[in-house]
Structure 1
Amino acid sequence: MDSKAEQQLASIANISNQKERTTSYLALLSTLFSSQPPSKDALITLGRHFVTSMSMAMVVGRRVLGSYVIALCAGTSMDTTGTASITLDDEGSGENQQFMQAGINAFKSSEGEEVRRDVVEGVLAGGNLSGWCEEQTTVLRHLYAHLLQLEEDWLGAAKALMQIPLEGGSRLISDEEKLAVYIKIVRLLLECGEWGQAQTYFSRASLLIHVTKDKETNLSYKLSQARLFDFSARFNEAAQKYHEVSFDSAIAEEDRLQMLKAAVTTSILAPAGPQRSRILATLNRDDRVHSSLPPSLSTMLRKMLLEYIVRQEEVKEFEAGLEDHQRATVEGGGTVLERAVREHNVGACGKVYDNISFEALGNILNLDAENAENTARRMIEQCRLRAWIDQPLHLLYFESRSSHDTDAEAQGTAGGLGIENKEKEVEPRLWSERWDDRIRETSIKVEALAEQIQQKGLIPPIPA
């Protein structure tokens, strides 16, 4: 703290006449902002003098603190949309431009931005802020978050916004302002990978999203939802949202292609099954995938869609473009991508073989026989694979597809016309039914062999 500034503030606080006191505060404020850069200790002392005072006359405090905040914000690129506004009394309305210019001049040196950040941090760091100045301290928190964003301190910026009292304060806050703050917090938390906390604030935003018709806010909400699905490994939902956002003309063309790339990536990472097949088909019909994205992505997408076996060299090429959270390990070993490819290759084997041993399946999946069996069993349990397991013989039998189960249906369309079909789950069969079928097949084979033996005369006829 600056002792000289403290003495001056104490002297001014003892002035009984409010008009004279206000004039003295403003004169001191103007003096402090006149140097380049200003003394950060003196500015912190002045700011704390106001924001912690419980006996400050509101007519004096709001006018002086409002000018102080205006000077601190001057010259920054902070977007004031969704932040609290600062109002000055009619008597002091002409001071707005004066202190704005003073702030621009004070912080324009090379050290100015660092001093500005230290001042805002110092004023807010002590806590015990008075309720009468919530409007001004809210603007300071927005400013602090903005300055931290410029330094790419995403978590620090999110925490600054979390301190804004949006519920139960003395200030009347609109639902649109609350929504704007919540979405900003979500996007900042996602930037630093804190998707668990982001989900909490996204849930709060979801309760308010209906109140706004602002296109930018709705777009930020959809993009945040897509990224949350992505971080939480809900890749089918993420791919749908990313693809939806990629058509929005309000986004720059380069960013739209990034959204499309994210849609293709998450669709490939999604668990194998009918839902993913429909998403892959939708993306495959988007001409931008084949004309504007890297060939490795479109090749991988078509292999997944047509159920071709994916080779390891193709997996490595695709893996190079994944984000950190998409490389997370999963239960059973391996990464998200390795699991997705393993499950895809299990389904692809069904187009080539009627049955396959777990040892041979493991060779294709780069797994041992036991883990290959576990992968197939999990897919069957989740109705994502038409197959059944012969445990004694260590074989996986693929159930034959019906005559109408064509590529068009696998792609989620009827006759290739783009008409969505309802998802068909694999109908479960009782083990007793499967056993009866196998006994019937064995009996037929035995009878056929016996008839062939008799026809060749290898067994003499039984005498009457």
Structure 2
Amino acid sequence: MESDTEVADRLAAISSESSQPDRLTEYLSLLKSLLETSSLSSNGLIIFGRLIITSPSMTMYVGRRVLGLYITVLCAGTSMEKKGTAQLHLEKRDEESISTWEEIGKNAFQGEENGEIRKDVVEGVLNGGGISGWCDEQVTVLKHLYAHLLQLEDDWYGAAKALMQIPLEGTSRLISDEEKLAVYIKIVRLLLECGEWGQAQTYFSRASLLIHVTKDKETNLAYRLSQARLFDFSARFNEAAQKYHEVSFDGAVAEEDRIQMLKAAVTTSILAPAGPQRSRVLAALNRDDRVHTALPSSLSVMLRKMLLEYIVRTEEVKEFEQGLEDHQRAKVEGGGTVLERAVREHNVGACGKVYDNISFEALGNVLNLDSDAAEMTARRMIEQGRLRAWIDQPLHSLYFESRSSHDADAEAQGTAGGLGVEREEKDVEPRLWSERWDDRIRETSLKVEALAEQIQQKGLIPIAAVA
């Protein structure tokens, strides 16, 4: 094995060669000797690679050919997908020797220890700075390789950073929109793996501007799945559930992965805020037979309880919580986790199916909250148009405006007390509470006057004689 000093001296001697063919032959001979040594060293290979991409006297005739075979050696034996910007275009005259150099690379970097040397070499070459402009394509492939090696070690953020450093705009190379899109989506997926969804959203926005250019099914699928996961991370659970459910029907996805997508759809639908939109998502999932046959029974039971607006108990919440991801356990404003808030709001709506009205103290007992927190939960749902109800502040009670079933006598008569005063159903409008309170008083006063007038007309109460 040659020492670092010997490698540097040999490189200096080769650089002084006047004949370019001789210089090319010497470079490749040195590279081969560095790879076929009994004890592989990263330092010599780093010195070699750094000289090729930074030397101001390096000609393109020699540099492109040597660097192309150097990268071929480093990529040999890896599972990196070589397409788009990760594809290396070699000189035609070198295509015949590719298999020979790949075999040299496989032998040199086989084994865990030598595999680590490969990563050190790639990292050392890329981190030196001063890279010449003529080798953008080769350096881009090297960055893809570095990202791939980091990904194998589950260093998702490091792999994403390596891809972020690939220049896609304003370079001398002509990069198609489809190739840019592939890089952006890969960055998004890596960032989502490590929970960096804020940065992932930035690159997803760039991908959204280019998604129309591709007809590749795999790219479109990756885009849709990334969108679902971004909705999930940003707590837009209704949209996440819909996207996950759509992906779960895609035949290009393996059966096991489709079931995982379905499970994610059910989970996010349960975490979604209570309201009409979630009810539609729950109904769509409930109609999917796979929910009841392929998923754990606890999930399907929880989904049906949410759909039918049954009150969910604490022990059921704890069982469901065990399957949540870290970001789905996040704390929310007002206290508690995302799941606890979703269940609280659901139980408020479920109470409306059982009671005409309920005190906030009793509602707090159902929600495991104090009466003030229970009132705040109901107030927020009403303000957001997700609960048809109104608050009687003096009585400290919640009155529900509609129920799925009514009292049998009232249903038969269709009137209040049989006096022809019809009950009106009105949509809950997001207005100021003072305005709604005034309207309630006005409506109640008009109804009282109408009742008094009808009582007099029917002669149910005799008018007192005037003295």
Q: TM-score, normalised by structure 1?
A: 0.90
Provide closer, same or farther for how the CA distance between residues 437 and 91 of structure 1 changes in structure 2, counting only shifts above 3 A.
closer
Residue aligning to 1:398: 400
Rounded to whole Å, the distance in 1 between the matches of 2:358 and 2:427 is 23
Rounded to whole Å, the distance in 1 between the matches of 2:342 and 2:187 is 32
Rounded to whole Å, the distance in 1 between the matches of 2:449 and 2:313 is 41
Structure 2 unmatched runs, 5+ = 407-425
Residue 206 of structure 2 is aligned with which of 204, 207, 228? 204
Residue aligning to 1:127: 129
Residue aligning to 2:235: 233
Q: CA deviation at 1:426?
A: 3.2
Residue aligning to 2:439: 433
Q: CA deviation at 1:425?
A: 6.2
Structure 1 unmatched runs, 5+ = 405-423
Residue aligning to 1:260: 262
1:36-83 deviations in Å (ceiling 9; x for gaps): 452210000001101222331001100000000000000111111333
Rounded to whole Å, the distance in 2 between the matches of 1:285 and 1:402 is 21
Q: Of the two structures, which has the highest relative contact order with CA contacts closer than 8 Å and spacing of 6 or more?
A: 1
**SS of residue matched to 2:358:** strand
User: Sequence identity, in percent?
Assistant: 72
Rounded to whole Å, the distance in 2 between the matches of 1:274 and 1:36 is 70
Rounded to whole Å, the distance in 2 between the matches of 1:392 and 1:442 is 20
* Counterpart residue type for residue 155 of structure 1: Y
Q: CA deviation at 1:383?
A: 0.5
Q: Is the 8 A contact 2:156 2:191 kept in 1?
A: yes
Provide closer, same or farther for how the CA distance between residues 425 and 96 of structure 1 changes in structure 2, counting only shifts above 3 A.
farther
Q: CA deviation at 1:395?
A: 1.1
1:179-205 deviations in Å (ceiling 9; x for gaps): 111111100000000000000011111
Provide closer, same or farther for how the CA distance between residues 95 and 246 of structure 1 changes in structure 2, counting only shifts above 3 A.
same
Q: Is the 8 A contact 1:246 1:259 kept in 2?
A: yes
Provide closer, same or farther for how the CA distance between residues 64 and 239 of structure 1 changes in structure 2, counting only shifts above 3 A.
same
Matches within 5 A, 1:68-87: 68-87=70-89
Residue aligning to 1:417: none
**SS of residue matched to 2:85:** coil
Residue aligning to 2:54: 52
Residue aligning to 2:297: 295
**CA RMSD in angstroms, aligned pairs only:** 2.5
Residue aligning to 1:421: none
Q: CA deviation at 1:88?
A: 2.9
Q: Is the 8 A contact 1:135 1:171 kept in 2?
A: yes
Q: CA deviation at 1:355?
A: 1.0
**SS of residue matched to 2:58:** coil
Q: CA deviation at 1:25?
A: 0.6
* Counterpart residue type for residue 112 of structure 1: N
Q: CA deviation at 1:397?
A: 0.9
Rounded to whole Å, the distance in 1 between the matches of 2:208 and 2:82 is 22
Provide closer, same or farther for how the CA distance between residues 401 and 351 of structure 1 changes in structure 2, counting only shifts above 3 A.
closer
**SS of residue matched to 1:400:** coil
Residue aligning to 1:31: 33
Provide closer, same or farther for how the CA distance between residues 368 and 441 of structure 1 changes in structure 2, counting only shifts above 3 A.
farther
Rounded to whole Å, the distance in 2 between the matches of 1:297 and 1:213 is 35
Residue aligning to 2:380: 378
* Counterpart residue type for residue 309 of structure 1: I
Residue 106 of structure 1 is aligned with which of 105, 108, 111? 108
Residue aligning to 1:279: 281
Rounded to whole Å, the distance in 2 between the matches of 1:442 and 1:59 is 98
Q: Is the 8 A contact 1:36 1:112 kept in 2?
A: no
Residue 154 of structure 2 is aligned with which of 147, 152, 155? 152
Number of residue pairs aligned between Structure 1 and Structure 2: 440
Rounded to whole Å, the distance in 2 between the matches of 1:170 and 1:351 is 66
Provide closer, same or farther for how the CA distance between residues 447 and 93 of structure 1 changes in structure 2, counting only shifts above 3 A.
closer
Rounded to whole Å, the distance in 2 between the matches of 1:374 and 1:37 is 70
Residue 120 of structure 2 is aligned with which of 108, 118, 121? 118
Rounded to whole Å, the distance in 1 between the matches of 2:92 and 2:364 is 80
**SS of residue matched to 1:83:** helix
Q: Is the 8 A contact 1:242 1:263 kept in 2?
A: yes
Rounded to whole Å, the distance in 2 between the matches of 1:463 and 1:71 is 115
Q: Are residue 360 (structure 1) and residue 362 (structure 2) matched?
A: yes
Provide closer, same or farther for how the CA distance between residues 27 and 446 of structure 1 changes in structure 2, counting only shifts above 3 A.
same
Q: Is the 8 A contact 1:37 1:107 kept in 2?
A: no
Q: Is the 8 A contact 2:389 2:398 kept in 1?
A: yes
Residue aligning to 2:21: 19
Residue 162 of structure 1 is aligned with which of 155, 161, 164? 164
Matches within 5 A, 1:442-461: none
Q: CA deviation at 1:446?
A: 8.8
Rounded to whole Å, the distance in 2 between the matches of 1:49 and 1:236 is 54
Rounded to whole Å, the distance in 2 between the matches of 1:372 and 1:139 is 58
1:179-232 deviations in Å (ceiling 9; x for gaps): 111111100000000000000011111111111111111100000000000000
Rounded to whole Å, the distance in 1 between the matches of 2:427 and 2:228 is 26
Residue aligning to 2:216: 214
Q: Is the 8 A contact 1:158 1:188 kept in 2?
A: yes
Matches within 5 A, 1:330-341: 330-341=332-343
**SS of residue matched to 1:111:** helix
1:264-312 deviations in Å (ceiling 9; x for gaps): 0000000011000000000000000001100110011001101111111
Q: Is the 8 A contact 2:82 2:88 kept in 1?
A: no
1:354-386 deviations in Å (ceiling 9; x for gaps): 111111111111111111111111111111010
Rounded to whole Å, the distance in 1 between the matches of 2:315 and 2:222 is 37
Residue aligning to 1:187: 189
